[in-house]
Structure 1
């Protein structure tokens, strides 16, 4: 049989209204990236309100050449007040030419994650640079106090791995104004990790937990959890793995391919966060991701879980444990999460209870099916399916200063994966076809009157096709084609009237053919091509579109705004064209 696993997983290691209608145009870069091999993405930047921001530099041109975190001290900006219309993180990173892995990068402040992503790989003759941004307005409460932070990019630099990473990051605070009032941000932010400065937590298996026991204010009205779960080590390619009974027959990694983050409060299931199948720049075929990486590869987006039905319990003055685990984790996932809390400004104490929780009786146990067959020659054909769909409702209430508020979180979360195999003595073909879906709403009511409803739908499609052939000289030819997507629809209504809706679509597809010798050393590659398209549109007329294509590892086409009216991007400063989470709290009637 072709020793496909020895290559496939080894390659990543070896591969080195004035307020509401103030539109902000996003134009093309001054210099076209066509012909460049540097990192080029179609993603939008974070839109900004009018006015000059106050800037706080977190760290500047730090060098990352070992496994030590780089500490920094944060002081709130002066002359900008303590309430801002928007807070944005900007980061600029680079790597020198040479040989280097893709590396995980994080920035933390006072235990709270500000940034989570990975790095681009260089070539032996050229370095790479890239820019990231994250909307941190919902973390405003964190930035009102001085604190200690650290950035961590663990990196080995020696005679073999020579690429050195450099980075800088800063926070931009946009003062509140008449046209851009202060954001209705959460009143407090609590990290789940145990490190007071900040780091990720390792989740080795399904029983591993990232947890924090917190005694919260006694007037919690709404609560949300921003969750990151990043696959590492044996789990890096979890989406291609198969259940243990089929691992030997298919020459694949075991442990199955179902992964899902489970959120609990005091041991009771409280929500679900789907795991996004991020592919890093050394993943599967490293040439596919030069110069355009996969979806969110350099800048992960958190998934926000609505925990508001538990607000009454969280406000009772007792300590409560909020925890995250990853079902199916198989050594290992890196995780971090932040609890965002809104308080009732008109009451020092609220009361409430959980009314129902149908998630509690639905364990995350997928159904496995197989049509695999093996003939007398040892040829294997067929498919393995993994499926799970759960519909649940979690309802609770809080007695607040403005009346009893009942909140229901209603979701359907589903996972469907098909692994198709055609294996002979000379060929190994595998197609991994996966789709994670979330459809649901969070609905809040005062008395019998519907007050606010936030709908959200997510789709994470992934298709990985690998065709590996043994050549007559004992070497290998491997054709890889990947399609990866992120689709999001959100909508907000108040009193039954729709107020706002938005759609985000981010899709990357690429292919490449590798030629290796019998020792799995890369001899050459050919046919590299990658395309990314990113679109955003909302009910206010906001529009963003971007597209980038490459061939033979240089940009061959780039456009921005072509799919928008007048061929021009125009988004509003308070929107989230990058897909970052929001709940529409600024429009709720209390």
Structure 2
């Protein structure tokens, strides 16, 4: 991945969304100086037909690494009982520019982590939609705003990134009820980085009865941790090193005790795998709306509810000591017991493993690295609430398998990998227990050929899948099925001016999401920058 690192080391990352009809004419034989605006196959946010109010949060442009700062004021005409709150980012960029990573914080709460698409010379526009209803507690008050998409503009990289971000509030009226949202959204006080650990203090309300942490974990920044899934032990001849190989695991601890584990999603930004032509129109899954990793910390609520600050630390297992490249901003969502001013309890069980696995390197004309990693954690605790004693048990198991192949000079560089993240949450109180099981599976199958030759080709398939079901007394209360699959194949001539690259590329995304009242099945396809298919099956 040496060439990939050289190409991306000066920049950060990529994002996008937008919708248009498939082209009626035959696509061009190669990329030109303009192409279709970026688009994804994911569903729009569903909204009710009620009174709505729009608030502009930011309207700015980014030329360097200076954050935009402003003030958010809640809408007056829609009250403070909302059924839905939708964030929309509209962006534009033209010329030449890398993909760039960005964030938006309101009241210190990270409400969006995103990245930008790489532009055509003639320019592109894109938009991103996100349901941010869960942050309603923060949005009811006046708040400071901070947004940054770090950028570099000079005579070579000419693209100025222009963005406008709005929030649209949909009132709860008539039969449309207010959304059930956390009572508080907290951030970590005094949050800072200590080596590879991000930590801060958390003080929860003394009547908290459910606590969920969300971590916007991204490996990025142009170094090897942007491609953490390709790293190899020191003895193997490859450009990205990590003592224990490619296994990564995002961990949360409370007062020094492990409280949550998760598999990170292998995000590929829009310049990734040495080939921006793969991603110009259809980005990889999650590239434009980075979803946070969630941890149910309710078993620790009895410990956290003492009114004192507690140390929360987020780390990424497998990252070499002193290695930078991971960002893990954290929000904490809290639901309070309306019938009690104080909720007490205790942690009753804690069974933590350690990341374990094997890494085997087979040298040869084609090097081959096989890696396996896994970990598990079970925690349980009770709370004495106004509606009786409630016990919450969280069981989580993560695993990763991968085969990495490369040749001398990394002219050929390939990876086939899978990550599993299985979680079961059991809540016992009065009556039958409620059980929620979630199975997450992420896959990547990619290959670069010609990395040291005249013409480079990248072939990629990525999958983002999740199945979840909530059951009580044999009755299914809720369920969901997500399957987002991307495939692409692109090639171009290297080390020549843009007009001599003769780039070609096809890509396809099928996004399926099903659940009670939800049916979304959309397929997009492109060729040489033109949208050739836009099909909906629901």
Tell me, yes or no, whether TM beats 0.5: yes
> Structure 2 CA distance, aligned partners of 1:349 and 1:356?
22
Structure 1 position 537 matched with structure 2 position 535: no
Residue of 153, 157, 164 corresponding to 2:160: 164
Residue of 444, 447, 450 corresponding to 1:462: 444
- Per the TM alignment, residue 159 of structure 1 is displaced from its structure 2 partner at its CA by 0.9
Report the counterpart of residue 266 of structure 1 in structure 2: 255
Kindly indicate whether the alpha-carbon contact (under 8 Å) linking 1:510 and 1:531 is maintained by their aligned counterparts in 2.
yes
Structure 1 position 555 matched with structure 2 position 538: no
Report the counterpart of residue 19 of structure 1 in structure 2: none
> Structure 1 CA distance, aligned partners of 2:327 and 2:202?
22
> Structure 2 CA distance, aligned partners of 1:545 and 1:430?
33
Residue of 99, 104, 118 corresponding to 1:121: 118
Structure 1 position 286 matched with structure 2 position 276: yes
Report the counterpart of residue 426 of structure 2 in structure 1: 443
Report the counterpart of residue 31 of structure 2 in structure 1: none
The C-alpha deviation readout for 1:239-267, integer Å capped at 9, x for no partner, is 22212221xx2455445322221101011
- Per the TM alignment, residue 214 of structure 1 is displaced from its structure 2 partner at its CA by 2.1
2:432 aligned counterpart, secondary structure: strand
> Structure 2 CA distance, aligned partners of 1:202 and 1:433?
32
Report the counterpart of residue 209 of structure 2 in structure 1: 221
> Structure 2 CA distance, aligned partners of 1:396 and 1:522?
63
The C-alpha deviation readout for 1:416-444, integer Å capped at 9, x for no partner, is 121123x258x833321111111121111
> Structure 2 CA distance, aligned partners of 1:298 and 1:251?
28
2:411 aligned counterpart, secondary structure: strand
> Structure 2 CA distance, aligned partners of 1:163 and 1:118?
14
The C-alpha deviation readout for 1:176-207, integer Å capped at 9, x for no partner, is 12322111211111113747xxxxx768xxx5
1:239 aligned counterpart, secondary structure: helix
The unaligned stretches of length 5 or more in structure 1 are 17-27, 196-200, 565-590
Equivalenced residues, count = 517
1:237 aligned counterpart, secondary structure: helix
The unaligned stretches of length 5 or more in structure 2 are 13-17, 28-34
1:244 aligned counterpart, secondary structure: coil
Kindly indicate whether the alpha-carbon contact (under 8 Å) linking 1:516 and 1:522 is maintained by their aligned counterparts in 2.
no
Residue of 477, 482, 485 corresponding to 1:507: 485
- Per the TM alignment, residue 295 of structure 1 is displaced from its structure 2 partner at its CA by 0.8
Kindly indicate whether the alpha-carbon contact (under 8 Å) linking 2:193 and 2:199 is maintained by their aligned counterparts in 1.
no
> Structure 1 CA distance, aligned partners of 2:483 and 2:19?
21
> Structure 1 CA distance, aligned partners of 2:139 and 2:10?
41
Report the counterpart of residue 58 of structure 1 in structure 2: 57
> Structure 1 CA distance, aligned partners of 2:128 and 2:174?
29
2:170 aligned counterpart, secondary structure: strand
User: Residues 408-487 of structure 1 correspond to what in structure 2 (within 5 A)?
Assistant: 408-421=393-406, 423=407, 428-447=411-430, 449-468=431-450, 475-487=453-465
Q: In 2 relative to 1, CA 296–29 (structure 1 residues): closer, same or farther, beyond 3 Å?
A: closer
Structure 1 position 180 matched with structure 2 position 190: no
- Per the TM alignment, residue 154 of structure 1 is displaced from its structure 2 partner at its CA by 1.1
Kindly indicate whether the alpha-carbon contact (under 8 Å) linking 1:229 and 1:333 is maintained by their aligned counterparts in 2.
yes
Kindly indicate whether the alpha-carbon contact (under 8 Å) linking 2:483 and 2:512 is maintained by their aligned counterparts in 1.
yes
Kindly indicate whether the alpha-carbon contact (under 8 Å) linking 1:193 and 1:210 is maintained by their aligned counterparts in 2.
no
Report the counterpart of residue 501 of structure 2 in structure 1: 524
- Per the TM alignment, residue 140 of structure 1 is displaced from its structure 2 partner at its CA by 1.1
> Structure 2 CA distance, aligned partners of 1:150 and 1:500?
36
- Per the TM alignment, residue 215 of structure 1 is displaced from its structure 2 partner at its CA by 2.1
1:291 aligned counterpart, secondary structure: coil
Which is further off, 487-496 or 303-312? 487-496
> Structure 1 CA distance, aligned partners of 2:464 and 2:499?
31
Residue of 479, 482, 493 corresponding to 2:471: 493
- Per the TM alignment, residue 135 of structure 1 is displaced from its structure 2 partner at its CA by 1.1
Residue of 291, 298, 301 corresponding to 2:291: 301
Residue of 399, 402, 411 corresponding to 2:387: 402
> Structure 2 CA distance, aligned partners of 1:530 and 1:406?
47
1:138 aligned counterpart, secondary structure: helix
Kindly indicate whether the alpha-carbon contact (under 8 Å) linking 2:22 and 2:531 is maintained by their aligned counterparts in 1.
no
- Per the TM alignment, residue 356 of structure 1 is displaced from its structure 2 partner at its CA by 0.8
Kindly indicate whether the alpha-carbon contact (under 8 Å) linking 2:214 and 2:295 is maintained by their aligned counterparts in 1.
yes
Report the counterpart of residue 354 of structure 2 in structure 1: 363
Kindly indicate whether the alpha-carbon contact (under 8 Å) linking 1:227 and 1:273 is maintained by their aligned counterparts in 2.
no
Which is further off, 428-437 or 543-552? 428-437
The C-alpha deviation readout for 1:7-66, integer Å capped at 9, x for no partner, is 2222235899xxxxxxxxxxx967556665211221111111221212221122x11112
Report the counterpart of residue 79 of structure 2 in structure 1: 81
Kindly indicate whether the alpha-carbon contact (under 8 Å) linking 1:406 and 1:445 is maintained by their aligned counterparts in 2.
yes
Kindly indicate whether the alpha-carbon contact (under 8 Å) linking 2:434 and 2:471 is maintained by their aligned counterparts in 1.
yes
- Per the TM alignment, residue 116 of structure 1 is displaced from its structure 2 partner at its CA by 0.4
> Structure 2 CA distance, aligned partners of 1:411 and 1:13?
35
> Structure 2 CA distance, aligned partners of 1:101 and 1:136?
28
Structure 1 position 111 matched with structure 2 position 108: yes
> Structure 2 CA distance, aligned partners of 1:444 and 1:166?
46
Which is further off, 341-350 or 48-57? 48-57
Structure 1 length as normaliser, TM-score? 0.83
User: Residues 3-22 of structure 1 correspond to what in structure 2 (within 5 A)?
Assistant: 5=2, 7-13=3-9
Structure 2 length as normaliser, TM-score? 0.91
> Structure 2 CA distance, aligned partners of 1:382 and 1:29?
42
> Structure 1 CA distance, aligned partners of 2:421 and 2:214?
16
User: Residues 320-399 of structure 1 correspond to what in structure 2 (within 5 A)?
Assistant: 320-329=310-319, 330-359=323-352, 362-370=353-361, 372-374=362-364, 379=365, 381-399=366-384
